[in-house]
Amino acid sequence: MDYYDGASAGLFIFLVFFWFIFAIAAYVISSWFLMKIFDKAGVEGKWRAWVPIYNTLIFVKLGDLNPWWLLILWGGAIVLGWVPFLGQLIGIAAFVYTLLAAWRVGLKLQKEAVWLILYFFLAIVWLGINAFDKSRWNTAIQAAPWAGNFLADNTTWAGVPAQAPAGGYPANPAMQAPPAPGYQPPAGQTPPPPPAGYTPPPAPPAAPAAAPEPPVTPPPAAEPPAAPEPPSTEPPSAPEPPKQP
- pLDDT tens profile 151-206: 999 999 999 999 988 777 887 665 555 555 555 656 655 666 665 666 666 777 76
Instruction: Identify the residue with better confidence: 205 or 144.
Output: 144
Identify the residue with better confidence: 228 or 21: 21
- Measure CA 205 to chain center: 34
pLDDT grade for 233, boundaries at 50, 70 and 90? low
Residue 243 in domain: no
Contacts of the segment 117-125: beta carbons below 8 A, 24+ positions apart: 123/30, 124/26, 124/29, 124/30, 124/33
What are the Cα distances from residue 172, in Å, to 151, 163, 169? 20, 18, 9
Residue 207 inside a domain? The answer is no
Across 4-8, 27-31, 117-121, least confident range? 4-8
Which pLDDT band, with edges at 50, 70 and 90, does 9 fall under?
confident
- What pLDDT, in 10s, does the model give residues 33-90? 999 999 999 999 999 999 999 999 999 999 999 999 999 999 999 999 888 899 899 9
The burial of 153, by beta-carbon neighbours within 10 Å (0-12 exposed, 13-18 middle, 19 or more buried), is given as: buried
Q: What is the pLDDT of residue 171?
A: 72
209/80 Cα distance (integer angstroms): 82
Give the HSE-up count for residue 188: Cα atoms under 13 Å, Cβ half-sphere: 0
Is residue 234 a part of any domain in this protein? no
In a domain, 6, yes or no: yes
pLDDT score recorded for residue 26:
94
- pLDDT of 242 over the 90 cut: no
For residue 130, what are the domain limits? Answer: 2-159
In a domain, 222, yes or no: no
Share above pLDDT 90 across residues of the chain, in percent, rounded to a whole number: 55
Q: Is 204 inside a domain boundary?
A: no
* Local confidence band at 229 (pLDDT 50, 70, 90 cut-offs): low
pLDDT tens, residue by residue, 85-138: 998 999 999 999 999 999 999 999 999 999 999 999 999 999 999 999 999 999
Sign of the dihedral defined by the CA atoms of residues 28, 33, 39, 42, in that order: negative
pLDDT for the residue numbered 225: 63
Beta bridge partners of 152: 65
- What pLDDT score does 227 carry? 62
In whole angstroms, what is the distance from residue 18 CA to residue 15 CA? 5
Count how many domains the chain has: 1
| CB-CB neighbours of 170 under 10 Å | 14
